[in-house]
């Protein structure tokens, strides 16, 4: 073969490559050591790729990354160095590849692991695939009190929320908070589904308002209305519960779509009436507090249950208005007169704590007994007699004396002690029916009753006297 043919064959096998800084080439590794690799890419000179130009990441030994025969892409940085080789860099290629990966992670909303290498008051600087990224302080956590210093040199799982490529720099912003929010939403979804209406849960009081409190159970908040806090009326929720306190509540209802849940504290405890009837019986004497006064009586509270103390049961004496004897807010002893479980009503009494004075006064008396009293007042109709300085009886004129009097004052005076005979008892009116005529009438024979007297002369001699005298003679 002629020299000309040999030259033509070599020229056919050789591919001419035009190179310039920034041009992307592809070639094979023909040699590699710790610090550099030679790349044959069809140019008259081989390309040299130094260790520091291989990757955005720190590479200690190039032989751990490349081996002879590997295909590689790189960018030309200089046409020839001092040794006549083309200088190459793989960083630009990696920048493009890694950024494409970042954009794919961003578009797919995938979580990434990053390491914090620097912090400031605004947030944390992190590394992702060789690029510097930033997590703003507001995106570090759902907890607003989080300090960026707590994350220095730590690995975090975050989400890319912005990835923009510009001529001068690539903007990479990440968030850790969005992951926490998603996890919280997932947990809440599971919690909403798991929570059962009618079941009791232990929760924490997060916030207290005038109308109630917000209680967190199983990671979600429900409303505990003021009417569901206690069986008795309260002025403010803070009277019973406090923020941060753990309480047991019952779920009354839930609306998953509207994210609403109603809770009850009082439903977890026995109603005051139930506890009352378990503890007390009719006839027991207990202490209570007067919470309200009315014209017909007083309401007395005992262990959160209100009972009625009727005006007629306040005293054995006549009471016109309860306020004459009682004062709101005072405590007093009462006797349980009746427990109406069906209507949940309680009847109380005070006068029943002592014996009825009238009963006590008359317990040893019987009909026709003689008792002493004193004249309290008089009228033309009769006399009012008072017994034991507290009980009165009216004695009409016909039962005062057998004598014919125009007025009792002809024979009696106020304050005078008199003796009476008991005719009847009136326990309801607390009165005795008595008579002041205590002596028996004189008995007479029918002859005496029929005897007629005649007057004979000045000696006043009767016919009977004359007949008696004749018989003696």
Nearest to 415 by CA among 383, 393, 367, 442: 383
> What is the per-residue pLDDT for 442?
57
∠47-51-53 over CA atoms, to 5°? Answer: 70
Contact 237, 249 (CB under 8 A): no
> What is the per-residue pLDDT for 169?
79
- Measured between alpha carbons, how far is 399 from 385 in angstroms, rounded to an integer? 12
Please, is 440 exposed, middle or buried when counting C-beta atoms within 10 Å of its C-beta (0-12, 13-18, 19+)?
exposed
What's the CA dihedral at 93, 95, 96, 102 to 10 degrees? 150
> What is the per-residue pLDDT for 36?
92
Measured distance between the N- and C-terminal CA atoms of the chain, rounded to whole angstroms: 225
> What is the per-residue pLDDT for 16?
52
> What is the per-residue pLDDT for 272?
92
Condensed to tens digits (0 to 9), the pLDDT of residues 63-100 reads: 999 999 999 999 898 877 767 789 999 888 888 888 88
> What is the per-residue pLDDT for 447?
47
3-state SS class at 419: strand
Residues 6+ apart with CB under 8 A from 470: none
> What is the per-residue pLDDT for 451?
45
- Measured between alpha carbons, how far is 263 from 415 in angstroms, rounded to an integer? 73
Low-confidence ranges of the chain (pLDDT < 70): 1-17, 82, 440-473
> What is the per-residue pLDDT for 97?
85
> What is the per-residue pLDDT for 460?
46
∠455-456-462 over CA atoms, to 5°? Answer: 60
The residue to which tokens 């929720």 are assigned? 237
* Cα 185 to Cα 101, 192, 201, 432, distances in angstroms: 28, 10, 20, 84
Nearest to 350 by CA among 389, 379, 311: 311
- Measured between alpha carbons, how far is 82 from 160 in angstroms, rounded to an integer? 44
104-139 in b/e form (b: 16+ CB < 10 A) is ebbeeeeebebebeebeeebbbbbbbebebbbbbeb
> What is the per-residue pLDDT for 33?
94
> What is the per-residue pLDDT for 95?
82
> What is the per-residue pLDDT for 454?
42
- Count the Cβ atoms, other than its own, within 10 Å of residue 41: 20
> What is the per-residue pLDDT for 2?
55
Residue 245 CA to its chain's centroid (Å): 10
- Measured between alpha carbons, how far is 415 from 385 in angstroms, rounded to an integer? 9
- Measured between alpha carbons, how far is 320 from 324 in angstroms, rounded to an integer? 8
Domains of the chain: 17-89 (2.40.50.140), 100-181 (2.40.50.140), 197-268 (2.40.50.140), 272-353 (2.40.50.140), 363-473 (2.40.50.140)
């Amino acid at each position: 073969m002629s020299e000309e043919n040999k030259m033509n064959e070599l020229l056919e096998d050789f591919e001419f490559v035009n190179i310039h800084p920034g041009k992307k080439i592809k070639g094979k590794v023909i040699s590699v050591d710790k610090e550099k690799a030679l790349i044959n890419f069809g140019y008259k000179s081989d390309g040299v790729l130094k260790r520091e130009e291989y990757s955005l990441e720190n590479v200690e030994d190039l032989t751990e990354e490349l081996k002879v025969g590997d295909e590689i892409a790189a960018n030309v940085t200089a046409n020839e160095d001092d040794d006549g080789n083309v200088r190459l860099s793989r960083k630009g290629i990696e920048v493009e590849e890694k950024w494409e990966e970042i954009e794919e992670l961003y578009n797919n909303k995938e979580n990434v692991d990053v390491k914090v290498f620097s912090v400031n008051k605004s947030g944390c600087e992190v590394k992702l695939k060789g690029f510097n990224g930033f997590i703003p302080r507001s995106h570090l956590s759902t907890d607003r009190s989080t300090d960026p210093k707590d994350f220095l040199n730590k690995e975090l799982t975050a989400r890319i929320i912005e990835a923009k490529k510009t001529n001068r720099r690539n903007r990479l912003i990440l968030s850790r908070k969005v992951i926490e929010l998603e996890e919280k939403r997932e947990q809440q979804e599971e919690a909403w589904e798991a929570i059962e209406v009618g079941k009791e849960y232990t929760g924490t009081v997060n916030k207290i308002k005038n109308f109630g409190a917000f209680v967190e159970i199983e990671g979600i908040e429900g409303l505990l209305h003021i009417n569901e806090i206690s069986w008795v009326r309260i002025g403010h929720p803070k009277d019973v519960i406090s923020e941060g306190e753990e309480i047991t509540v019952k779920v009354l209802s839930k609306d998953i779509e509207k994210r609403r849940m109603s809770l009850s504290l009082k439903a977890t405890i026995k109603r005051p009436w139930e506890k009352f009837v378990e503890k007390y019986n009719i006839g027991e004497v207990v202490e209570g507090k007067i919470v309200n006064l009315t014209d017909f009586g007083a309401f007395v509270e005992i262990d959160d249950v209100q009972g009625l103390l009727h005006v007629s049961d306040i005293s054995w004496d006549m009471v016109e208005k309860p306020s004459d004897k009682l004062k709101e807010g005072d405590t007093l002893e009462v006797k349980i007169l009746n427990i109406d479980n069906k209507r949940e009503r309680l009847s109380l009494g005070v006068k029943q704590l002592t014996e009825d004075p009238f009963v006590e006064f008359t317990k040893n008396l019987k009909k026709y007994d003689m008792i002493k009293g004193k004249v309290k007042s008089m009228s033309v109709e009769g006399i009012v007699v008072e017994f034991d300085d507290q009980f009165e009886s009216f004695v009409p004129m016909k039962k005062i004396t057998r004598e014919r009097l125009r007025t009792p004052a002809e024979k009696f005076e106020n304050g005078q002690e008199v003796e009476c005979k008991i005719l009847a008892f009136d326990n309801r009116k607390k009165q005795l029916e008595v008579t002041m005529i205590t002596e028996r009438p004189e008995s007479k024979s029918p002859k005496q009753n029929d005897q007629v007297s005649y007057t004979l002369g000045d000696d006043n001699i009767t016919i009977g006297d004359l007949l008696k005298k004749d018989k003696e003679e």
